[in-house]
């Protein structure tokens, strides 16, 4: 026999869940965790570890080598001197190996910094779904533009100006869309605080803003798709006209998105 549905319990659970997800503490923990997982931060940590290891092994090599020299010169304790010399040879090998690893790590360009994820509106808001889609689209675009800026084993085939224009248009559009989402949430909060008889008057503005949000995210998605086509063209035929055509499409959509974002309600 199924348990009876408890609408009040579901409402409380939803409210508590929304508050937890919007908690500054949760946001800070999430931000720090994402910063720790950032590929750029990982590369920097690897460099620091390699430098520390090289310094440590180098110090041991100097101490053991100097000790062996003193033993041979003044103490004339052959067994101990040869032991120090052998240990010094081992640490020298470790120093050279660690030094070469450090050199390799510093020759590899650092990855692009990870994009800082924005907190989403609560699930109960009409702004949640479009903002969730926007967040996913922003992450995908960040990764695609990173691929175009530093393609593996090749010189970038897309002009940096086109990529900067696309990134700038995307950032402006995302900022304006978040402003629109904040406005929608403000109206939703006003509706919740309004007398039931007066709430119907706010339904139409909420629907209008929600529709504009979805439309804006759809336009943002077109830029992401163009970036994906550009990555595909540069990977399969880096010297063909397909790259030029894809780049032109990316630039055109960036300009269109820049123009569209000026008309988003604020």
* Tens digit of each residue's pLDDT (9 = 90 or more) over 106-149: 887 777 666 677 888 999 999 999 999 999 999 888 888 887 77
CA distance 233 to 116: 28
Query: Using 50, 70 and 90 to split pLDDT, how confident is the model at 209?
Result: very high
Tell me the mean pLDDT in the region 50-71: 85
- Phi and psi for 123 in degrees, rounded to 5? -60, -25
CA distance 163 to 223: 11
Tell me the mean pLDDT in the region 96-110: 85
Three-state SS letters, 87-131: HHHHHHHHHHHHHHHHHHHHHCCCCCCCCCCCCCCCCCCCCHHHH
CA distance 2 to 261: 50
CB 42 within 8 A of CB 112: no
CB 200 within 8 A of CB 191: no
Q: Where are the alpha helices (DSSP H) in the chain?
A: 7-21, 24-37, 39-70, 78-107, 128-149, 160-193, 200-236, 241-261
The structure tokens listed for 71 are 């033993």
Cα 16 to chain centroid distance, Å, stands at: 28
Give me Rg for the CA atoms of the chain: 29
Per-residue confidence (pLDDT) for residue 33, from 0 to 100: 57
CA distance 213 to 126: 9
Is 237 in a helix, a strand, or coil?
Answer: coil
Hey, which of 14-18, 33-37, 117-121, 235-239 has the most confident mean pLDDT? 117-121
Residue written as token pair 């569209």: 260
Q: Angle of helix 241-261 relative to helix 160-193, nearest 10 degrees?
A: 30
Residue written as token pair 């139409």: 204
Query: Using 50, 70 and 90 to split pLDDT, how confident is the model at 181?
Result: very high
Per-residue confidence (pLDDT) for residue 159, from 0 to 100: 63
CB 260 within 8 A of CB 207: no
Hey, which of 31-40, 95-104, 152-161, 225-234 has the most confident mean pLDDT? 95-104
Per-residue confidence (pLDDT) for residue 241, from 0 to 100: 67
**How far lies 266's CA from each of 130, 180, 213, 263, in Å?**
17, 6, 12, 9
The structure tokens listed for 184 are 């929608």
CA distance 115 to 127: 21
């Amino acid at each position: 026999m199924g348990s009876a549905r408890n609408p009040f319990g579901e409402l409380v659970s939803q409210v508590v869940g929304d508050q937890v997800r919007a908690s500054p503490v949760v946001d800070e923990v999430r931000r720090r965790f994402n910063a720790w997982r950032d590929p750029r931060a990982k590369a920097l940590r690897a460099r620091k570890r390699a430098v520390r290891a090289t310094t440590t092994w180098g110090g041991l090599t100097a101490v053991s080598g100097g000790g062996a020299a003193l033993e041979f010169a003044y103490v004339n304790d052959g067994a101990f001197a040869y032991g120090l010399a052998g240990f010094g040879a081992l640490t020298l090998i470790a120093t050279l190996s660690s030094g070469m690893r450090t050199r390799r790590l510093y020759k590899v360009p650092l990855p692009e910094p990870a994009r800082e994820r924005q907190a989403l509106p609560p699930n109960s808001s009409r702004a949640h779904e479009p903002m969730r889609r926007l967040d996913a689209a922003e992450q995908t675009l960040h990764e695609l533009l990173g691929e175009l800026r530093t393609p593996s084993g090749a010189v970038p085939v897309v002009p940096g100006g086109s990529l900067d224009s696309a990134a700038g248009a995307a950032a402006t559009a995302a900022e304006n869309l978040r402003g629109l989402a904040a406005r929608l949430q403000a109206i939703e909060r006003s509706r919740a605080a309004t007398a039931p008889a007066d709430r119907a008057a706010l339904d139409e503005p909420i629907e209008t803003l929600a529709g504009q949000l979805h439309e804006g995210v759809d336009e943002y998605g077109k830029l992401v798709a163009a970036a994906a086509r550009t990555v595909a063209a540069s990977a399969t035929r880096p010297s063909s006209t397909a790259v030029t055509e894809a780049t032109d499409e990316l630039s055109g959509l960036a300009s269109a998105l820049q123009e569209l974002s000026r008309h988003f309600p604020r």
